[in-house]
Amino acid sequence: VSPRRASQKAGARRRRVPPVRSIPWEELLETLRKLYHEGEAAGDWRSPYLRDHAESPFQVLIGTILSQRTRDETTDVASARLFAAYPTPETLAAAPVSTITKLIRPVGFYPTKAKGIQACARDLVERFGGKVPASMEELLSLPMVGRKTANCTLVFGFGLPAVPVDTHVHRIANRLGAVRTRTPEETEEALMRVIPMDLWIPVNPLLVQHGQNLCRPIGPKCGECPIRAICETGSRWRPPGQRRSSKEPS
């Protein structure tokens, strides 16, 4: 294939990706807030673990590490057991790894996480005087801490503006057409560009809750979704009698 032909093909591929949609974020977040926090069924929806359970930046940080590749319910049980025994960086730093391992046992990769959270607690004690640092750079210097964990700690532990992107946020942002990204890291960067900073804090908890309830990974419930008119995927949804196929958009 000649270089000219290859470049034409690449151009055609690039052109097939539609431009990102401009999303009215304030309206979208307010609609989701009303649905999940004011509606009659507000207490019945599933809700993000961290928003409801975190009592300190330390618990947010360690709870987020435990939650990686683990179901919310499992994180919930393991965190409750761990923090009942070791509620502070000092106590966790001094705990035997074998005991930590037993306490967190249901979570994914528990042997690695047991060593990792103890190392993280030791770092907090030795380098930060037993306090969780409130900056992205310092958080990323801790063992087991990547961007999602650091961002969750900033938002849920300190109430600072950040956009933690997990699989729910990544999936929904792409379904909305707000971003065209392949990885959560790209999504984080893109969302920080398009969402005004004063709206960042509620983005993760509301989109995660939406992903747990209506905008599920498989079979999103677009017919029940109050932000359908804003959403690119939702704009293709048709009531059952008017569908060409019986499948919901994916």
**Cα torsion angle, 32, 33, 35, 37, sign:** positive
CA atoms within a 13 Å half-sphere pointing along the CA-CB vector of 180: 10
The alpha carbon of 56 is separated from its chain's Cα centroid by a whole number of angstroms, namely: 19
CB atoms within 10 A of CB 107: 22
Q: Is 63 in the site for ligand SF4 (CB under 6 A)?
A: no
Which residue in 9, 46, 221, 243 binds ligand SF4 (CB under 6 A)? Answer: 221
Q: Is 33 in the site for ligand SF4 (CB under 6 A)?
A: no
Structure token pair of residue 179: 């971003």
> Nearer Cβ to ligand SF4, position 184 or 234?
234
Q: Is 222 in the site for ligand SF4 (CB under 6 A)?
A: yes
Which residue in 21, 33, 81, 228 binds ligand SF4 (CB under 6 A)? Answer: 228
Which residue in 14, 141, 231, 239 binds ligand SF4 (CB under 6 A)? Answer: 231
The footprint of ligand SF4 on this chain (CB under 6 A) covers a number of residues equal to 13
d(CA 185, CA 178): 15
Coarse DSSP helix, strand, coil percentages of the chain, rounded to the nearest 5 percent:
65, 0, 35
Which of the stretches 33-41, 93-101, 192-200, 229-237 binds ligand SF4 when contact is defined by CB under 6 A? 229-237
Q: Is 32 in the site for ligand SF4 (CB under 6 A)?
A: no
Q: Which residue reads 């908890």 in tokens?
A: 205
Pattern 114-153, ligand SF4, x by CB under 6 A: ----------------------------------------
Closest by CA to 168, choosing from 186, 192, 152, 184, is 184
Q: Is 23 in the site for ligand SF4 (CB under 6 A)?
A: no
Residues ≥6 apart with Cβ < 8 Å to 87: 59
Q: Is 225 in the site for ligand SF4 (CB under 6 A)?
A: yes
Q: Is 215 in the site for ligand SF4 (CB under 6 A)?
A: yes
Using CB under 6 A as the binding rule, the residues of this chain from 146 to 205 that contact ligand SF4 are 172, 175
> Nearer Cβ to ligand SF4, position 116 or 234?
234
Q: Are 139 and 121 contacting, i.e. CB atoms less than 8 angstroms apart?
A: no
For the chain, the first-to-last Cα distance in angstroms comes to: 35
Rounded to the nearest whole angstrom, what is the least distance from the CB of residue 232 to ligand SF4 in the complex? 7
Instruction: Name the residues that contact ligand SF4, by CB under 6 A.
Output: 172, 175, 214-215, 220-222, 225, 227-228, 231, 233-234
